Amino acid sequence: MPRAAAIRGPLAARPHEFAEPSRALAAASTPLPLNDVPHPQRLGNFGFLGLILDGIVEPVLRDMDMRRCACPKEKQGNQGALSDEELDNTKKESGVVGLDDFEVLKLVGQGAFGKVFQVRKKGTSEIYAMKVMRKDKILEKNHAEYMKAERDILTKVDHPFVVQLRYSFQTKYRLYLVLDFINGGHLFFQLYQQGLFREELACIYTAEIVSAVAHLHANGIMHRDLKPENILLDADGHAMLTDFGLAKEFDENTRSNSMCGTVEYMAPEIVQDRGHDKAADWWSVGILLFEMLTGKPPFVGGNRDKVQQKIVKEKIKLPAYLSSEVHSLLKGLLHKEAGRRLGSGPGGSNEIKNHKWFKSVNWKKLDTRQIQPSFRPNVAGKTCIANFDECWTSMPVLDSPVASPVAADSNFVGFSYVRPAPFLQRPSPLG
């Protein structure tokens, strides 16, 4: 599938915010145009709305060869709509919303375990993203604990640069997560369209990501899958961290031993299965920054094994056209020894925030969204779906029939959730 088919939608950029490859750039590191970069994982698992689209949480390394966009070859009209049976079987506890509280507007994505819909809460003008997951498929893959962990983590997070969970509930056959609908596209779209960013724009995006990750760490959460597909843009152009399918709660005295993430963004300690902690997230932030400034991650290869070998053994090559300040930051974030990585010391995230590359950033103003990125996506209102692929948005709003899961109720006890009023009253990122 051609990469151009991966994401559609016009984005109104200011041309001067994006760097143009030059002879000096070519002499420094020769970044390829993104159409020529051997980066198979770009073809799938897009981070629409904070949702995993080509498969639910996998607690093991994802195989790049399997990362294909799962758009159907033809539209199917016999899949069975969001049914009255589902409505009848919604278990509505006191104060908990259910499926019949929402009007389904558009299909915007699909994964191995369900679909993603744009919805409106009835009686309001609020637009949300509804992630619908089939219980039978989740149980078949033994993923019930991962789904509950994702939901639990989302209920604990409240930050201006993190996509918020608003409601969760279940029916007899499905689980539902209702999140903010962020419709400005994601960071990868800009990288795909423009190739690379100027440092001034990359600095704001990176600062917003650092702020979000620092908030997670302060609340005992590792994200573990930071990449451009999981950074969305809201209507004002702010970066919004999403997709908590691989996130994990931690304490400072333990290390996680699972191999997880997306290979190009995985820290050496994860690749080598030596156990990891929150420092692995700061490595991924470094990879993100490198990709924003050069158009590709620093360690790429023809297959997973080659990429892993480079992550562990290859010294990072920093292009000469980048400033000495960002050279210093990248070297700190991409230190192969986790204990010596910037952000892993006693100062935590402040080691990063106080770095000289961020000297122009007022962190208090940043966290109150008073610093406006110079790029703003083309979003024509709350319901705009221009930045989603037509292979989904042109399909009928249907959902597939499901088999009754065995003992599903006991596996998903306590799944329902309504975000408390102070959270619900916070202005939407779409304004």
Cα-based angle 59, 61, 66 (whole degrees, multiple of 5): 115
Same fold yes or no, 45-183+382-413 and 187-367 = no
pLDDT of residue 28: 35
The amino acid that residue 300 corresponds to is: V
Length of the chain: 431
Q: Is 358 helix (H, G, I), strand (E, B) or coil?
A: helix
CA atoms within 13 A on the CB side of 379: 22
Query: Using N-to-C axis directions, what is the helix angle for 187-194 and 279-294, rounded to 10°?
Result: 30
Encoding tokens for residue 428?
């939407």
193 neighbors 11 (Cβ within 8 angstroms):
yes
Residue with tokens 């700061």: 282
pTM of the complete model: 0.77
Q: Is 131 among the annotated ligand-binding positions?
A: yes
DSSP conformational letter for 288 = H
CA atoms within 13 A on the CB side of 368: 4
154 neighbors 177 (Cβ within 8 angstroms):
yes
Sign of CA dihedral 149, 155, 161, 163: positive
Domain boundaries, the chain: 45-183+382-413, 187-367
| DSSP code per residue over 243-282 | --TT-EE--TT--B----S-GGG--HHHHTTS-B-THHHH
Name the residues annotated as catalytic: 225
pLDDT in tens, the chain (431 residues): 333 333 333 333 333 455 544 333 333 333 333 333 333 333 333 333 333 223 333 333 333 222 333 444 444 433 334 554 554 454 445 457 899 999 999 998 876 678 889 999 999 999 999 999 899 888 888 888 888 888 999 999 999 999 999 999 998 889 999 999 999 988 887 777 767 899 999 999 999 999 999 999 999 999 999 999 899 999 999 999 998 988 999 988 788 878 888 999 999 999 999 999 999 999 999 999 999 999 999 999 989 999 999 999 999 999 999 999 999 999 999 999 999 999 999 999 999 999 999 999 999 999 999 999 988 888 999 999 988 878 888 888 876 555 554 445 566 666 676 776 554 444 444 43
Which CATH class, in words, describes the domain spanning 45-183+382-413?
alpha beta
pLDDT of residue 35: 35
HEC letters along 147-182: HHHHHHHHHHCCCCCECCEEEEEECCCEEEEEEECC
pLDDT of residue 42: 39
What kind of fold does domain 187-367 have according to CATH?
Transferase(Phosphotransferase); domain 1 (1.10.510)
